[in-house]
Structure 1
């Protein structure tokens, strides 16, 4: 079925996304820290706390990047009904990105949901938790993961142009999608 039609190719500009990611991360980090300071007024500075905070940030960031990609896989299974054996996960060192993909094509509406699931679970929820427990490390991780979803939002924006029943195939090696209109 997919071989019968010529696909529409959606390809992201990784360099532009990396710049966008850095700008959004810095902006959100400043915003979140300012809100934390204004609302919670509980800033105490010590060298020891700073070192612990940096270590906690690094550990949480690594964990949440892994979870971000895992939530894409969960989204593929829940929203797209793909089998576990069709999922792939890893790191592309050449591009400097973690990835999650499926060999199975998905309907457009399922792919869009799978693209945005990690934004909510690894970006927004940790940020809310960071404000709730007054954790600067968690707020900064939330800022990084919200900004880290910039590529997911770019893909979502492009997919939004096509019918919900269009078939979307993820490229296993590049940040590229193939859209097949029925």
Structure 2
């Protein structure tokens, strides 16, 4: 297959940046939502339990959508996927065990943050649903790791092969031609 390069992100750095992104998106969303709908809300035990329940359900859906992306865009088999949770870093994951095209990997990487983050955020803003806005802002911030991986691989050709890193946040890029070998890797 040629040369390969491992692109690994520091989990603590990813969590730190995810916190900054989450704070930023929460502040921005709050300002925009308040501008259009005002800032009246009531927190009850039931609404808090609903929020927490939906949040965990949407985190699960986020990882499931990574798997759907690998299956759909990467054309892999269900047995090529692995799902889990890393207690040390408090993160869920979906892992594709086989190399796929960079194009498919990028799409599988961003699919969940678009469908569970940005789309519901826009809908929540349009209809004035504060809970939906709050949930989606947390999911956009939680997708920061996906965005950081995307940024680190954006310069590679769409036909380059890439595989999820087995044990770390990141991936292995397989170089099949001279053009890709000369790309600058930003980690």
TM > 0.5 fold call: yes
User: CA RMSD for the aligned pairs?
Assistant: 1.6
The answer on 1:141 being equivalent to 2:138 is no
Tell me if structure 2 keeps the 8 A contact 1:54–1:137: no
Gaps of 5+ in 2: 177-187
Q: Secondary structure at the match of 1:104?
A: coil
CA offset at residue 44 of structure 1?
4.3
The answer on 1:24 being equivalent to 2:18 is no
Q: 1:170 aligns with which of 160, 164, 169?
A: 164
Paired residues for 1:49-60 under 5 Å? 49-60=43-54
Tell me if structure 2 keeps the 8 A contact 1:163–1:181: no
Counterpart residue number, 1:72: 66
Counterpart residue number, 1:40: 37
| C-alpha separation in 2, matches of 1:98 and 1:109 | 23
Q: Secondary structure at the match of 1:90?
A: strand
Counterpart residue number, 1:83: 77
| C-alpha separation in 1, matches of 2:135 and 2:39 | 19
Q: Secondary structure at the match of 1:91?
A: strand
Q: Secondary structure at the match of 1:8?
A: strand
**Could you state the TM-score of these two structures normalised by the residue count of structure 1?**
0.89
Q: Secondary structure at the match of 1:162?
A: coil
CA offset at residue 158 of structure 1?
1.5
Q: How many residues align?
A: 176
After TM superposition, which residue ranges in structure 1, 4 or more long, deviate above 6 angstroms?
none
Q: Secondary structure at the match of 1:11?
A: strand
The answer on 1:111 being equivalent to 2:108 is no
| C-alpha separation in 2, matches of 1:42 and 1:180 | 50
CA offset at residue 11 of structure 1?
0.3
CA offset at residue 132 of structure 1?
3.3
CA deviation vs aligned residue, 1:40-84 (integer Å, no higher than 9, x gap):
136244xxx443332222111101110110111011011110011
**Could you state the TM-score of these two structures normalised by the residue count of structure 2?**
0.87
| C-alpha separation in 1, matches of 2:25 and 2:140 | 9
CA offset at residue 176 of structure 1?
2.5
Tell me if structure 2 keeps the 8 A contact 1:56–1:137: no
| C-alpha separation in 1, matches of 2:11 and 2:58 | 21
